[in-house]
Chain A
Amino acid sequence: NAGVMQNPRHLVRRRGQEARLRCSPMKGHSHVYWYRQLPEEGLKFMVYLQKENIIDESGMPKERFSAEFPKEGPSILRIQQVVRGDSAAYFCASSRNPGQRTEQFFGPGTRLTVL
């Protein structure tokens, strides 16, 4: 997973605050996926983005969550008005153009704690 960068690594927020998680894909990758790992649960897909486009957001909660991947800069996962249930590890993965053998490489994650 060398090359996919996420920051911050740890984020503490109080209920009602906003959380912004950033992801810089590997060099040469223009496809970004966000996953969430809740305590004692597996990794779950949230959203898939290409530069300036959201391709699949079927795993995103309907409210308070949004994601973007601008032409310049990192992908951002934004959580508004955080609640305790948002506490989790959020992972970003990047890939080249999707194909049958296309592999996704993960970043180290951002661990969000909501107090």
Chain B
Amino acid sequence: TQLLEQSPQFLSIQEGENLTVYCNSSSVFSSLQWYRQEPGEGPVLLVTVVTGGEVKKLKRLTFQFGDARKDSSLHITAAQPGDTGLYLCAGAILTGGGNKLTFGTGTQLKVEL
């Protein structure tokens, strides 16, 4: 069973601060996806990383996939209240049975004015 541990579980910061969320596992994944979920809605895909060491930037968000493809991080620069939400990492292992996702435990982020 693959497990993905996210840290921190909760994070409350002021607008303008920087933060990093970590996603760690002992398993190797074919790819790793980051999602953001609002209350009452489904997860919205932010990014997919595939190659060990890969770094992707999405405006103020920077995503990195670990060299061994077991861990990932999400860094947000100058956080804004609109960044508030539940951030989920999800690892996929590509097999003949598709690429079902194993989700992390989630990081609940709150950005206050």
Contacts and interface: CB of A to CB of B under 8 A. Distances in A.
Interface in B65-113: 88, 90, 94, 97-106
B44 A44 contact: no
B98 A109 contact: no
Given A42-B88, A43-B88, A98-B94, A104 B42 contact: no
B101 A108 contact: no
A25 interface: no
Given A33-B100, A42-B88, A56-B98, A101 B31 contact: yes
Interface residues of A, number: 30
Nearest to A91: B42
B101 A42 contact: no
Interface string B42-78: 1111001010000000000000000000000000000
Interface of A: 1, 4, 6, 31, 33, 35, 42-45, 48, 55-56, 59, 91, 93, 95, 98-109, 111
Given A48-B98, A104-B45, A106-B43, 16 more contacts: A1-B43, A1-B44, A6-B42, A33-B98, A35-B103, A42-B103, A43-B43, A56-B100, A98-B99, A99-B99, A100-B30, A100-B31, A100-B50, A103-B33, A104-B101, A106-B42
